[in-house]
């Protein structure tokens, strides 16, 4: 029942596919009609042919045998063409199923390359780091520092630039709107003046903070003093600039004069006003003009601080530590990611092993080897049935010939009609084994032939072989993974940065 169900399942799987060569049915009447059996047998009987002493088949019987053999040969030739079309597939698939499918050496080479590449990078990075770390230590000693440098990162750069950009835009909008009423051309001219002042307040202040304010901590007294003098001059200038701008706004509110007329002295009404814009402390500031002054000064101070904090407060210290910190970060990144990178390779190899195993079983075994080896088996079995039909057809034809012939004979039956005991044979013809046995008829394919039991056993053997090979390979992967993890820990420890 198991075998029956197995091959029934195979038929269902390959339903619609040609899995055998279909031999044509043997038609006895065609053979009999071709040799004119009845008329020939009747005439031969009336003439007592074949003779009683004859020991060989009559011409009519031989014609029947030749006719059947021609038909058999034509079917064999067609079957050979069909078998030739699947022979190569059987040989190829058998070779694939019999070979080794999983190789640990390829995986080992890949892992070793990854580890070697990582260790080479870590070695170069650590050498560079140690050189740069010595430079940082020397800089720290020379400048009496006792902290690590605060080097620039991409986030620091983004934040620093974003701060001055936001300050510039806000001051431009606020001052532009506040100055617009005091300008002859209104908003457009107000924005132009505001942009110029905002540029000084923000961008120049950032540069002063970066180059001057940092030097307040410098170990060299000369640089500290120069920086203090320069910063003092710049602060006086920036306060004066914004105060004067507020004074011009206050004069406009008091007299209605536009800013450009006040600056050029063309407005007589402004001269009546108390105080002078170039001397802003002589002008009484209004609330709006105070906003102008404090927005400008406040944003200038903010930009100074932004420039001071950008790339470490101590001049040059951030740049010295930048490459060292980047190398340290890269060393730690490689150390941290090496384990996950190797684990990913092992996981992919395990997954690929399962996929290859399933592909071999479902592809090579089930879609290639099974249908073709089954086709060969079905063709051989089909020929056995076909040759049996030929044999039975000839037996019937010869028996019919002798029956009709004996009805008209006047002499005794030919000698070859009787057996060794002298009795008339009841079995008239039997196809020789060389013509009935498919292993002899299809000699070139017999070596590939397997019967149903052998096919079923071979399928089981192949499946077990492939599964066991895959399991063994996965076990080897796991063992090698443990060895690799030890190597990774050694590398991580060797290139650790304190």
More confident residue, 183 or 369: 369
pLDDT of residue 18: 57
Residues in the chain: 498
Confidence of residue 12 (pLDDT cuts 50, 70, 90): very low
At 333-371, the pLDDT tens digits run 999 999 999 999 999 999 999 999 999 999 999 999 999
More confident residue, 388 or 284: 388
pLDDT of residue 243: 81
Confidence of residue 275 (pLDDT cuts 50, 70, 90): low
Confidence of residue 414 (pLDDT cuts 50, 70, 90): very high
pLDDT of residue 271: 47
More confident residue, 267 or 341: 341
The alpha carbon torsion through 206, 211, 216, 221 (nearest 10 deg) reads -160
> Cα–Cα–Cα angle for 161, 166, 169, nearest 5°?
125
At 238-257, the pLDDT tens digits run 888 778 777 777 777 766 55
pLDDT of residue 269: 46
> d(Cα 374, Cα 151) in Å, to the nearest integer?
74
pLDDT of residue 88: 94
Confidence of residue 4 (pLDDT cuts 50, 70, 90): very low
93-97, 136-140, 203-207 — which one is most confidently predicted on average? 93-97
At 420-465, the pLDDT tens digits run 888 989 999 999 999 999 999 999 999 999 999 999 999 999 999 9
Structure tokens at 146: 């006792």
Residue 90 has pLDDT above 80, yes or no: yes
pLDDT of residue 292: 74
State the average pLDDT over residues 175-199: 65
> d(Cα 159, Cα 155) in Å, to the nearest integer?
6
At 227-239, the pLDDT tens digits run 888 888 888 888 8
State the average pLDDT over residues 463-477: 94
More confident residue, 9 or 470: 470
Residues 6+ apart with CB under 8 A from 202: 164, 167, 168, 171, 299, 300, 303
> d(Cα 26, Cα 38) in Å, to the nearest integer?
19
CA diameter of the chain: 168
Residue 480 has pLDDT above 70, yes or no: yes
> d(Cα 218, Cα 2) in Å, to the nearest integer?
93
Mean pLDDT lowest among 66-75, 87-96, 211-220, 413-422: 211-220
Helix 221-255 crosses helix 154-179 at what angle (to 10 degrees)? 30
> d(Cα 320, Cα 469) in Å, to the nearest integer?
57
State the average pLDDT over residues 106-122: 93
Residue 222 has pLDDT above 90, yes or no: no
pLDDT of residue 421: 87
């Amino acid at each position: 029942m198991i075998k029956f169900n197995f091959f029934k399942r195979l038929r269902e799987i390959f339903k619609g596919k040609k899995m055998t060569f279909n031999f044509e049915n043997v038609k006895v009447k065609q053979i009999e009609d071709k040799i004119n059996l009845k008329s020939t047998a009747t005439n031969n009987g009336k003439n007592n042919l074949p003779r009683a002493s004859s020991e060989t088949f009559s011409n009519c019987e031989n014609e029947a045998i030749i006719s059947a053999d021609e038909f058999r040969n034509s079917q064999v030739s067609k079957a050979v063409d069909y078998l030739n079309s699947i022979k190569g597939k059987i040989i190829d698939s058998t070779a694939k199923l019999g070979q080794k499918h999983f190789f640990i050496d390829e995986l080992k080479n890949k892992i070793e390359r990854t580890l070697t590449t990582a260790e080479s990078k870590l070695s170069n990075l650590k050498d560079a780091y140690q050189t740069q770390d010595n430079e940082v230590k020397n800089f720290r000693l020379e400048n009496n520092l006792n902290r690590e440098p605060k080097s620039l990162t991409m986030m620091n750069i983004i934040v620093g630039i974003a701060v001055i950009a936001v300050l510039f835009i806000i001051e431009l909008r606020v001052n532009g709107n506040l100055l617009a009423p005091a300008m002859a051309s209104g908003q457009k001219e107000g924005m132009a003046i505001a942009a110029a002042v905002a540029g000084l307040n923000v961008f120049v202040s950032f540069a002063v903070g970066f180059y001057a304010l940092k030097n307040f901590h410098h170990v060299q007294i000369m640089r500290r003093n120069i920086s203090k003098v320069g910063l003092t001059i710049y602060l006086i200038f920036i306060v004066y600039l914004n105060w004067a701008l507020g004074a011009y706004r206050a004069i406009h509110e008091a007299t209605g004069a536009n800013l450009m007329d006040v600056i050029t002295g063309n407005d007589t009404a402004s001269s009546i006003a108390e105080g002078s814009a170039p001397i802003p402390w002589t002008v009484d500031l209004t609330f709006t003009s105070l906003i102008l002054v404090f927005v400008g000064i406040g944003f200038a101070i903010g930009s100074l601080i932004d420039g001071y904090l950008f790339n470490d407060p101590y001049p040059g210290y951030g740049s010295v530590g930048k490459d060292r910190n980047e190398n340290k970060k890269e060393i730690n990144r490689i150390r941290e990611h090496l384990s996950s990178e190797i684990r990913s390779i092992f996981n992919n190899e395990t997954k690929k092993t399962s996929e290859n195993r399933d592909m071999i079983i479902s592809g090579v075994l089930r879609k290639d080897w099974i249908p073709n080896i089954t086709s060969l088996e079905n063709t051989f079995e089909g020929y056995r049935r076909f040759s049996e039909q030929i044999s039975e057809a000839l037996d019937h034809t010869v028996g019919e010939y002798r029956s009709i012939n004996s009805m008209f004979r006047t002499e005794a039956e030919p000698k070859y009609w009787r057996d060794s005991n002298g009795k008339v044979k009841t079995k008239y013809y039997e196809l020789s084994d060389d013509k009935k046995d498919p292993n002899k008829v299809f000699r070139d394919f017999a070596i590939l032939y397997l019967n149903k039991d052998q096919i079923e056993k071979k399928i089981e053997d192949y499946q077990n072989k492939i599964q066991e090979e895959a399991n063994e390979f996965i076990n080897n992967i796991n063992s090698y993974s443990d060895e690799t993890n030890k190597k990774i820990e050694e590398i991580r420890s060797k290139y650790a940065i304190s």
